[in-house]
Structure 1
Amino acid sequence: MKPGDLVRAARRLLAMTQEEFAVSVGSRQSLISKYERGQVDPPGALIIHCMTLLRPIDTQPVTEDSLVQLIRDRLSGAEHAAARKAIAAVIDGIR
């Protein structure tokens, strides 16, 4: 999904016009229109806001413990050694 599609989907989920949505997120209607048409990329904070709105209600939040459990459940065994190594490299890169 493109960023503009995400903005449009969140706005439509709330059944708002572009103007109403703009007011609710502290923006202008003209910018919301540009985001939705893909002319301008929306700021990260708006993308996160839209993703939060579109997240299924029954989805559990991602926590450190849930990530560790997911790795244990789905990436155990020798056949997943490369995936575990890649995840470790990503984590090391964050430090």
Structure 2
Amino acid sequence: MRQVHFLGGKIVAFDSVEELIRAARNGRSQKEFADLLEVDQSMVSKYERGKASPPISVINRCMRLVHTAEGESAPSAEQLAERVRVTLADPELGPVRSALSRLVDAVASENAQARSSGAAPQ
């Protein structure tokens, strides 16, 4: 399934989680990237080859790395909401809005679970 992401004002599409992982690694060694993700280097290799499915926390971290250039701060919730409102206003993008809604629900659920367990939200 093709995953669509916004990067620097452009739409970037990934056909797989493996592509997202490789894009987030962005030239780093697997060891360096593993340290950044707080996983073993062997797991990065497995994620990239599709031999293991990364947990949502790793996917979230990779999405942040892909979407936030070094030194660039994340947009505020209001800025993001406005970009979504403008970008997804086209009636033909209903399926994208539905997918985004499910993604937001999943992130909210994970953050609520993390808070209730005393862990920091990812």
Range class of TM-score, shorter chain: 0.5 to 0.7
Partner amino acid, structure 1, of 2:53: D
* Alignment root-mean-square deviation, CA: 3.4
- Large movers: runs of 4+ above 6 Å: none
Query: Against the structure 1 CA distance between its residues 69 and 19, is the aligned structure 2 distance closer, same or farther, given a 3 Å change threshold?
Result: closer
Task: Tell me how far 1:65 sits from its aligned partner.
Answer: 6.9
Report SS of the residue matched to 1:61.
coil
Higher helix share: 1
Segments of 5+ residues of structure 1 without an aligned counterpart are none
- The reply on whether 1:54 has 2:54 as its aligned counterpart is no
**Relative to structure 2, which stretch is displaced further, 32-41 or 67-76?**
67-76
Question: Which structure ranks higher in relative contact order (CA pairs < 8 Å, sequence separation ≥ 6)?
Answer: 1
* Percent identity between the two aligned chains: 31
Q: If the length of structure 2 is used for normalisation, what is the TM-score? A: 0.49
Q: If the length of structure 1 is used for normalisation, what is the TM-score? A: 0.60
Structure 2 distance, partners of 1:10, 1:73, is: 24
Task: Tell me how far 1:54 sits from its aligned partner.
Answer: 1.0
Number of residue pairs the alignment of both structures matches: 81
Task: Tell me how far 1:41 sits from its aligned partner.
Answer: 1.1
